[in-house]
Each structure stands twice: as C-alpha cells, then as structure tokens.
Structure 1
Amino acid sequence: MNLQRAFQRVYNVLLNSNVNTVAPVCGYTVRLKHTKEEINEHRAKVMAKGLPEKKPLPGVKSIILVASGKGGVGKTTTAVNLACAMKVIEPDKEIGLLDADVFGPSVPLMMNISGEPMLNDDNLIEPLLNYGVKCMSMGLLVSGENAVVWRGLMVMQALERLTRHVAWGPLDCLVVDTPPGTGDTHLSLAQNLPIDGAVVVTTPQSAALQVTKRGVNMFEKLKVPIVGMVENMSHAICSSCGTKNFVFGTDTQLTADQMGLEIIQSFEVDQNMSECINSGKPAIYALPDSTHAEKYRQLANKVFKYIENKENERAKAKE
C-alpha cells in the first residue's frame, strides 16, 4: 500500500468513526481517537520535559541580539557599528561580535577580517580581533566563493560551534548579528543562551514594518526583552537645499507606539555608509565626527545603560 492510500484510508475511517478505534496502516496500528484524559496526560508528559536549559557562555557577562524581520534594512551595519561604538566609549570593556547569519555572513567584510581562525590548547576557536572587538563568523570558516547549502540540523550544529566552541571570554558584552526572519537561529539562541535583550532594526517601508511586528511577536513568545527599535533610512537629505525627504514613509513611530517600543535611534540615508561597508572600516572609525558616528555612540550608551539596569535587577532579585 503506498503512503498516499494509507493516509487516505485513515482519513476515511476518521470521517466515519465516532468511537475509539484503531486502523492498520502499512503494517502498524494507528490509534485514531483518544479520551480527553489521555490527551491531558500526554501534554503533561511533553511539558515536563521542558525546554533546553539555558547555559551561559563561559566568561560572557551579557548577550545582546541585533535582529530584523526583513533583510536589507541595515541590521549587520547596526550590529558592527554598535559593537565598535561600545568599545570606543568604554575602552576598558571587552566586546565581542558574533555573526550568526550562517547563510549570508557579512561581518568579515564590514570588520575587515579574513583568514581561518586558530584553535587554542583547549581546542576552542580563537576569535579574530579587529578594532578591539573579538569577532567570529561562518564567513571565516567557509570560503567566500562557496555557498552554505545546509539543512536545519547542520545549521544548529554550526551555531553551536560558533557559540560554545569559541574562546569568547572574558567579555562584558557579546553582540550577536542574527539573520533576517524568525527561524531556527533565533529559536536556538533564545532557548539555549541567557539573552539580555534584542535590538530590533527596521526601515520605514510598510513591508519592513509589517515583518518587524512578526519579529517582535517572536521575541515576546520566546520571552526575550526588547531593548528598543533602530530605524535606518528614515529619510534622505537633499544635498542642495538640506530638505528632508521621507522617501520610504513615516510610519515607524506609529508602529513603535502600537508595539509599545521606543525608537532608541534613527539614521538617515548617507552614501558614505556604503563606502564604510565596502572598505571594511566602520563609520565609528572611518567618520568619527559624522552624525552617524555620534548616533552610534549614543546608541551604545543606551545599550550599556540597559545592561546596567538588567544587572541591577538581577542583583536585587538575589537579595
């Protein structure tokens, strides 16, 4: 009996049966109906297993995700400049940057890092260091010309390698650049690591804002607090008259209000940012006196303040 016929047979029995029954399918006995008590008992057993235990990364004090529901909104640019700005304003702090986008890693380009990382005596990967920030990315483990064509399980194994098999410590904060969407990577990170908060990145387009809502809903379900929203490409400034042109719309604030979020920083369109990305020198270093650099420093201060408040909350909870 082929599989399609087997399932059709079960379906037909289900339609014509109002009592507990069984039906043979492909040599197996399939239970077609269960009592309410049996269902509740099964649910209790499943829930008793629980989610994976969240284990901190050795030597890492805080973890901040940078996420976006939609691609192309400047998420990696935000993650890179946030990590670098945190190092600039607090030179004594140890900052790390994890590129968790297995399929489309961009951190190596933007941080100007390359070469295969080395293993230390503990068989842990030593992250590469540039601009004072410890970096790790799948782009360092796979040739830039090769595409990563993996199924979900392999992605999870790679993510495990990038987190728990890297000599991150000591770190005051690990900034994690996540891939677009609401997939396995976010679920795995949230279920296995103690995430302090997520910075949500968007642009003013309706399509981006709509998907951003889905991302926020995902974090709410995973019980990951939101640090705030970062708006990229909020407007363009005319080089002749200085007029602000809101070419992508003005609905970001309305969406933030609907979700109860604060826009913690907003960036206008600037062609110099593209040059920074291509040259592998973050704006915080390439254009230290620019408006963008100042705004990234402000953003870094807000994230540090958020982390400080979280630490105070945890200290009070232990009292």
Structure 2
Amino acid sequence: MAFLMNFLYTQLFLTLPYPTSDFSGKTIIVTGSNVGLGLEAARHFTRLNAEKVILGVRNLDKGEAAKKSIEETTSKLGVVEVWQLDLATYESTKQFAKRVEGLKRLDAVVENAGIATTRYRVAEDNESTITTNVVSTYLLALMVLPKLRETATKFNTVPHLTIVSSGAHSFTSFPEKSSHSIFRTLNDKETANMADRYHVSKLLEVFCTRELAARVKGNGKPEVIINYLTPGVCHSELARDAGWRIAVMKFLIARTTEHGSRTLVHAVEAGPETHGQYLSNCTISEPAPLVLSEEGGKAQKRVWDELLQKLESVQPGIMTNV
C-alpha cells in the first residue's frame, strides 16, 4: 500500500526539475525520437545548445517531421540530424553504429527506442520484444562504447550511455529465469507469456545495464557513465499495442510527455555517482527487490552470458568493446 501511495503521489503531484544544463559543443544521440519521450528529450538537448542532436528513428519521414518541430520550437537550425535505425533488424543497428564511427565526437547516447506489444512476432532470431528492447539495444550500446571512450580521451570529458528502462521491471517474477536457456524459453511461441513480455524485457535491461556498468568500471579504459532510468507512466505511443488496461492507466495518471522526458535529460546531466544506478524521479533509487536478491544476481549473470553469446554471433569480437 505504501508503494502504491508513493507511486500515485509522484505521478500526480511531484514536479520534476526542468533541465538547465549547458550542452554546448556536445553531440547527443536519442533513439526512438520521432515521437514521445525521445522527441521531447531531443528538443531539450537542442534548446540547451547541443552542437549536434541525432534522432535515431525507424521512419525517416516521421523523423524529418520531428526535426522540423524541434527547429520551430527552439529556433535552432543545423543542429538536428535524422538517422535511420530499426532495432528490429541487426543490420540496421550495425549500420547505425558504423555511421557513429564517423562522428567528430559522441558525448551521450540515450537508448529510448522500444516496443510494448502483446502479439507474438519474430524479429531476427527472437520474439520481437526481445530483439528490439534487449538484444539490439545492447548490440548498439557495445558498438558505440569505443566512440564514447574516444570522446572521453580527446575532449577530456565523461560521456554517458543511458538506457531508458521502466518501473514495469518490478511487475514480473521472471519465471523464465529457472529454465535451462532463458532466451530460448522466451522465444518459444507455445509458452511465451506476452502479457508479461514487456515487463520481462525491462527487467532484462536492468540486469544487462547493471552487469555492463560493473564490468567497465575500473577496467583501465576511459570512463563512461552508464546508468538506467524509469520515466514513470507517461503519455507516449509506446503502449499503442499493449492493450486497453495500459490505455486506461495512462488516461488516469500519466505524466505529460515533456514532463517525463526530463528524466532522460537528467540521466545525461548526472554525475559519476549514477554509474550503474537506477534513476527514478531524477534521483538514485533501488530497483525491484528481485534484482537485489541472491536469486536475481544469479539470473543477471546468466542473462548477460547468454546475451553476449548472441551478440558475438551477430558481431564477432564485440566482447572486446566491454
């Protein structure tokens, strides 16, 4: 009951800090940024003087419309670029990461793109939610890490890699964790629990971000702050395929998209104390009890090991980027 009351209070009455940091000279990528939280975060970064803001989008026409909207509201031209990125395909993800290599610098990557669906569909070698929200998300993360580290060295700065997760990670008991092969079980059409799938995908993001952050810390390579966050329940197009219950909840308690986007910008503003940490309402918070338990720790390592096997098959040698 206390958790529920606190959740409702923060959703309905808490005002999140309005972003004011100066991003002059910086290059920032925001994925899933033609609508919703990603668009509003990109608008903030542009308003706050970023030199280059890259919108990673599936649909280039919608991306161009988003760019026009940002330019009209900020009066800043020549800042926003639209790059194609479809996390449902590994090749698109790899091509995007390859393009990143040509940037002068890269100061922050906000991985916001994701899907929420109750329909079972296959994308690449997984159910589509797993490919989009998990495998391709970390394929991109590991492929851009070298550019972030290069920027850290060249410009004497500390770049950010931010994963937009969700408080929904606490809504699952993750029964697949006891299976012999977690990803194989998740991809089994006959047993897939699609009502729980979005929650599970966000829990996997929590596990993988924590594991990645722990493995890069103190490894002798240039520092990159890796953190993850929940924006709360917000008005966006993410849950357009998630069913009527989510739609009703959003109608009753959702934050505006702009308000929720402040959490994304805050994660990029935040300091090294947020490395490996879960951010909620623009503060460091604890993830779900399962994550912090002994059982969760074991599941985290299993998920990470299985994910790396997948990523190595998609992009051989990617483990060296960690």
Query: Normalising to structure 1: TM-score of the pair?
Result: 0.38
Query: Normalising to structure 2: TM-score of the pair?
Result: 0.38
Which structure has more helix as a fraction of its residues?
A: 2
